[in-house]
């Protein structure tokens, strides 16, 4: 069998020496295939131009005839200025070469020369950066030269030469990977040609066509992975088939203190349907803050218990874990269901009790932080895992569960509505349920943006709300680089607020407090023993105190849009009119834009859309947990139409039988196997 270019080490390319190899590795280039896919990010234009068509200051390439003797001036030992007159068309141009005195002898009058450099219109002068004589062996003139991202001892020139060498040695081995019908349908350049052309296009249009083809390929192969994974997951029978007691679930829903919204009913049905099936549920529940996701999670957990299984609810913070523990205990108490808590800061003894209960099945529901899936945690019969307020069921967590011999249904809940672009890429492997409406009777939150100088009036506003029996949050920023300083800020602000409201109880919450203290602060705020809560962003996600109606954010310009929206979502959770006041003096335009968006809309989907616009997709989720793939060529914003096309094509392909059977798709299927798509670790 002949080797594939993705199996041949880049060392085999002539010119790649042992010391160069690790430097290429640092660019992600290990194989010949990688090198050929090391695309230029732009081209340098060495095509010969007419002087009449160029603008002052442009970098251009012209061809002309040397007129008269060159003039050399030297400054000190190594500096020099060499100039000579060149006839370009009907213009007489002065070519100026700095520090290249050695060229003097070659600049013979009457000789044709190609000059590249910066054009000075007024002086009719070209400051030459590169020159060559027509017909020389490595002539660049007349071409578009690729510009690669380079560094270390790898120079632009070396990279060009080496990629070119790889094309010469291995270009013929480049094989088509896309299905023939798609290449034809979208009139794509064949792969071999596209790889050649993307490095060395004849003209701009050809470069674009080559790029269009490779972008489509990149997005198609990515979407194919997601859809093949979904299709495969749906077919497998090794998940938990919950035998849900429908009557019991209905009774549970009926005794809730409120009626479910239509949206909640719909998504609950979607979730329970998945849970009954033998495949592993892999579902995303997205809903704006305050749309009522927790109760949906509770129903899913309860349903698992009626089937004789255990359920787990995983949350990002201890505060949230404690809050969910309390509300689940309240809900499940009449049913004699035990709810256990697992967090990092529990005592060994408490921990041992819960662990024992889970292992024996005496504790049916576990709530906790990441501590929930540590190796020491053994469930007797885990059926469903719900993760709240996390963008993804993070790295390797699913495989951790699988290693324990469990294949639970997984429901991921997020309050950050995902704009469509990102949903397709980041969550393309999941089924999505969306909570579109908020519970009835909620009033829109009124949002204001004020300057710092109005702080006195804001304090008056807080007093008004508090004396009417409501509660308020006052948020100060927490920037991770200097947690200490920020905690000090929070402490100072707390003192300031205590002085402003001596007749009310003002408490303080920040990440550095011991867990028990955090819990106590939240408990007191939850029952209105404290009226004003000064806090860092630790309350950002999930915290639910319906009597709180006022959210004041200090230095609001230091937060991103999604974060501000999350913070605002802490109010407007009950029947009372709620307010969000952003105190900010943003200097930057985007800072001001963010404040504007916040005051214009309180619809999370709209906020997310504007956020994406302002930040771009790469930044949208912040770093790590994003689950966003990195593309070599494709750009989420400008290639969106291609992305949608690629998604449709991939979905259609895997939905048919041909893909799974016909030999012509064998290479694609092998590729999916190689990438371990069918082991269920996709994007974990």
Site for ligand ADP in 274-303 (CB under 6 A): 287, 289-295
Residue showing tokens 């004003």 = 532
Cα–Cα distances in angstroms (integers) from residue 600 to residues 167, 308, 443, 455, 533, in the given order: 54, 48, 15, 22, 26
How far apart CA 519 and CA 94 sit, in angstroms, is 78
What are the residue ranges of helices labelled H in 580-682? 589-600, 604-615, 617-620, 640-655, 658-661, 666-674
Q: Name the residue among 356, 413, 362, 355 with its Cα closest to residue 384.
A: 413
Strands (E), 562-658: 579-583
At its nearest, how many Å lie between ligand ADP and the CB of residue 435? Answer: 7
How far apart CA 641 and CA 388 sit, in angstroms, is 31
Of 546 and 591, which CB lies nearer to Mg ion in the complex structure?
546
Q: What backbone torsions phi and psi does residue 532 show, to the nearest 5 degrees?
A: -120, 130
At its nearest, how many Å lie between ligand ADP and the CB of residue 575? Answer: 9
The site string for Mg ion over 485-524 (x = CB under 5 A, - otherwise) reads: ----------------------------------------
Number of residues that bind ligand ADP (CB under 6 A): 19
Among 29, 260, 342, 653, binds ligand ADP (CB under 6 A): 260
At its nearest, how many Å lie between ligand ADP and the CB of residue 594? Answer: 21
DSSP letter, residue 135: T
Residue 263 lies near ligand ADP (rule: CB under 6 A): no
- Contact at 8 Å (CB) between 633 and 208? no
At its nearest, how many Å lie between ligand ADP and the CB of residue 619? Answer: 23
The region of 73-81, 328-336, 541-549, 577-585 touching Mg ion under the rule CB under 5 A is: 541-549
Site for ligand ADP in 562-591 (CB under 6 A): 569, 573
Strand partners, 63: 114
Q: Give the other-Cβ count within 10 Å of 57's Cβ.
A: 10
At its nearest, how many Å lie between ligand ADP and the CB of residue 473? Answer: 15
Residue 368 lies near ligand ADP (rule: CB under 6 A): no
Would you tell me the crossing angle of helices 204-235 and 191-199 to the nearest 10 degrees? 130
How far apart CA 681 and CA 684 sit, in angstroms, is 5
Expressed in angstroms, the distance from the first to the final Cα of the chain is 33
Of 145 and 601, which CB lies nearer to ligand ADP in the complex structure?
601
The interface partner of residue 264, options being Mg ion, ligand ADP, none and the CB cut-off 5 to 8 Å by kind, is ligand ADP
The interface partner of residue 260, options being Mg ion, ligand ADP, none and the CB cut-off 5 to 8 Å by kind, is ligand ADP
- Contact at 8 Å (CB) between 511 and 319? no
Structure tokens at 196: 């050649």
How far apart CA 117 and CA 137 sit, in angstroms, is 21
Cα–Cα distances in angstroms (integers) from residue 125 to residues 68, 91, 141, 203, in the given order: 16, 11, 19, 27
At its nearest, how many Å lie between ligand ADP and the CB of residue 146? Answer: 49
Residue 439 lies near ligand ADP (rule: CB under 6 A): yes
The region of 160-168, 487-495, 537-545, 585-593 touching Mg ion under the rule CB under 5 A is: 537-545
Among 261, 387, 397, 471, binds ligand ADP (CB under 6 A): 261
Strand partners, 314: 368, 387
The interface partner of residue 258, options being Mg ion, ligand ADP, none and the CB cut-off 5 to 8 Å by kind, is ligand ADP
Residue 258 lies near ligand ADP (rule: CB under 6 A): yes
- Contact at 8 Å (CB) between 579 and 549? yes
Of 569 and 617, which CB lies nearer to ligand ADP in the complex structure?
569
Of 62 and 545, which CB lies nearer to ligand ADP in the complex structure?
545
Of 280 and 295, which CB lies nearer to ligand ADP in the complex structure?
295
Of 144 and 413, which CB lies nearer to ligand ADP in the complex structure?
413
Residue 406 lies near ligand ADP (rule: CB under 6 A): no
At its nearest, how many Å lie between ligand ADP and the CB of residue 573? Answer: 5
Strands (E), 420-576: 431-435, 446-450, 471-475, 506-509, 532-535, 548-553
- Contact at 8 Å (CB) between 403 and 378? no
How far apart CA 5 and CA 166 sit, in angstroms, is 10
Residue 394 lies near ligand ADP (rule: CB under 6 A): no
Q: Name the residue among 603, 274, 283 with its Cα closest to residue 434.
A: 283
Taking CB atoms, the residue at the shortest distance from ligand ADP is 292
Structure tokens at 365: 């529901």
How far apart CA 145 and CA 142 sit, in angstroms, is 9
| Three-point CA angle 336, 341, 346, nearest 5° | 140
Site for ligand ADP in 542-561 (CB under 6 A): 542, 544, 546
Residue 470 lies near ligand ADP (rule: CB under 6 A): no
- Contact at 8 Å (CB) between 285 and 393? no
The region of 194-202, 328-336, 541-549, 555-563 touching ligand ADP under the rule CB under 6 A is: 541-549
Strands (E), 167-295: 282-287
Residue 542 lies near Mg ion (rule: CB under 5 A): yes
At its nearest, how many Å lie between Mg ion and the CB of residue 452? Answer: 31
How far apart CA 619 and CA 608 sit, in angstroms, is 12
**Taking the CA of residue 353 as centre, how many other CA atoms within 13 Å lie in the half-sphere pointing to its CB?**
9
Residue showing tokens 């469930």 = 379
At its nearest, how many Å lie between ligand ADP and the CB of residue 542? Answer: 6
At its nearest, how many Å lie between Mg ion and the CB of residue 545? Answer: 12
- Contact at 8 Å (CB) between 613 and 585? no
How far apart CA 461 and CA 167 sit, in angstroms, is 70
Site for ligand ADP in 625-664 (CB under 6 A): none
The region of 15-23, 256-264, 268-276, 330-338 touching ligand ADP under the rule CB under 6 A is: 256-264
Residue 526 lies near ligand ADP (rule: CB under 6 A): no
At its nearest, how many Å lie between ligand ADP and the CB of residue 625? Answer: 18
At its nearest, how many Å lie between Mg ion and the CB of residue 388? Answer: 6
Among 83, 223, 264, 425, binds ligand ADP (CB under 6 A): 264
Of 292 and 340, which CB lies nearer to ligand ADP in the complex structure?
292
Residue 617 lies near Mg ion (rule: CB under 5 A): no
Residue 422 lies near ligand ADP (rule: CB under 6 A): no
Name every residue whose Cβ is closer than 8 Å to that of residue 259 and which is 6 or more positions away in sequence. none
Among 32, 188, 415, 422, binds ligand ADP (CB under 6 A): 415
Of 160 and 391, which CB lies nearer to Mg ion in the complex structure?
391
At its nearest, how many Å lie between Mg ion and the CB of residue 291? Answer: 9
At its nearest, how many Å lie between ligand ADP and the CB of residue 568? Answer: 11
Binding site for Mg ion (CB under 5 A): 542
Binding site for ligand ADP (CB under 6 A): 258, 260-261, 264, 287, 289-295, 415, 439, 542, 544, 546, 569, 573
């Amino acid at each position: 069998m002949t080797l594939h270019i993705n199996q041949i080490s880049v060392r085999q390319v002539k010119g790649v020496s042992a010391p160069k190899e690790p430097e290429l590795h640092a660019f992600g280039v290990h194989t010949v295939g990688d090198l050929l896919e090391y695309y230029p990010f732009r081209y340098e234009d060495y095509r010969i131009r007419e002087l009449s068509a160029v603008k002052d200051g442009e970098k251009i390439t012209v061809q002309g005839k040397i007129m008269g003797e060159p003039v050399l001036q030297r400054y000190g030992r190594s500096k020099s200025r060499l100039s000579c007159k060149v006839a370009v068309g009907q213009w007489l141009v002065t070519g100026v070469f700095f520090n290249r005195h050695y060229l003097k002898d070659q600049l013979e009058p009457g000789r044709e020369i190609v000059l590249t450099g910066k054009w000075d219109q007024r002086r009719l002068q070209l400051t030459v950066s590169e020159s060559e004589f027509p017909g020389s062996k490595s002539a660049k003139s007349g071409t578009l030269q690729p510009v690669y991202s380079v560094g270390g001892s790898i120079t632009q020139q070396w990279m060009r030469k080496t990629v070119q060498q790889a094309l010469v040695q291995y270009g013929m081995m480049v094989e088509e990977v896309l299905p023939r019908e798609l290449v034809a349908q979208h009139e794509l350049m064949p792969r071999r040609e596209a790889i050649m052309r993307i490095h060395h296009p004849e003209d701009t249009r050809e470069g674009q066509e080559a790029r269009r083809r490779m972008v489509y390929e990149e997005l198609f192969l990515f979407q194919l992975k997601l859809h093949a994974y979904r299709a495969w997951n749906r077919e497998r029978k090794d998940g938990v088939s919950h035998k849900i007691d429908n009557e019991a679930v209905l009774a549970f829903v009926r005794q809730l203190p409120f009626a479910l919204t239509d949206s909640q009913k719909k998504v609950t049905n979607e979730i329970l349907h998945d849970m009954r099936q033998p495949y592993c549920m892999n579902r995303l529940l997205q809903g704006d803050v305050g749309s009522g996701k927790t109760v949906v999670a509770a129903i899913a957990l309860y349903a698992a218990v009626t089937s004789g299984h255990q359920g787990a609810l995983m949350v990002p913070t201890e505060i949230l874990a404690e809050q969910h523990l309390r509300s689940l205990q309240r809900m499940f108490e009449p049913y004699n269901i035990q709810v256990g808590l697992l967090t990092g800061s529990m005592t060994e003894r408490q921990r041992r009790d819960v662990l024992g209960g889970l292992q024996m099945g005496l504790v049916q529901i576990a709530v906790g932080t990441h501590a929930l899936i540590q190796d020491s945690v053994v469930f007797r019969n885990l059926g469903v895992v719900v993760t709240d307020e996390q963008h993804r069921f993070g790295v390797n967590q699913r495989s951790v569960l699988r290693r324990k011999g469990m294949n639970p249904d997984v429901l991921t809940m997020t309050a950050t509505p995902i704009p469509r672009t990102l949903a397709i890429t980041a969550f393309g492997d999941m089924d999505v349920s969306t909570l579109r409406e908020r519970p009835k009777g909620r009033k829109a939150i009124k949002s204001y943006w004020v300057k710092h100088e109005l702080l006195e009036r804001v304090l008056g506003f807080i007093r008004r709300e508090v004396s009417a029996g409501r509660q308020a949050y006052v948020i100060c920023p927490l920037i991770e680089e200097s947690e200490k300083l920020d905690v000090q800020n929070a402490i100072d602000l707390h003192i300031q607020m205590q002085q402003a409201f001596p007749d009310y109880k003002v408490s303080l919450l920040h990440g550095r407090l011991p867990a028990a203290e955090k819990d106590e602060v939240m408990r007191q705020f939850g029952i209105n023993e404290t009226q004003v809560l000064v806090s860092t962003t630790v309350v950002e996600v999930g915290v639910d105190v319906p009597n709180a109606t006022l959210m004041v954010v200090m230095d609001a310009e230091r937060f991103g849009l999604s974060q501000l929206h999350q913070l605002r979502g802490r109010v407007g959770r009950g029947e009372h009119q709620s307010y969000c006041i952003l105190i900010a003096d943003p200097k930057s335009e985007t800072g001001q834009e963010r404040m504007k968006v916040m005051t214009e809309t309180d619809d999370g989907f709209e906020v997310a859309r504007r956020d994406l616009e302002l930040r771009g997709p790469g930044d949208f989720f912040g770093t790590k947990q994003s689950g966003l793939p990195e593309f070599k060529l494709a750009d989420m914003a400008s290639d969106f139409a291609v992305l949608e096309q690629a998604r449709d094509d991939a979905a259609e392909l895997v939905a048919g039988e041909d893909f799974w059977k016909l030999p012509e798709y064998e290479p694609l299927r092998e590729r999916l196997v190689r990438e371990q798509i069918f082991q269920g670790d996709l994007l974990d």
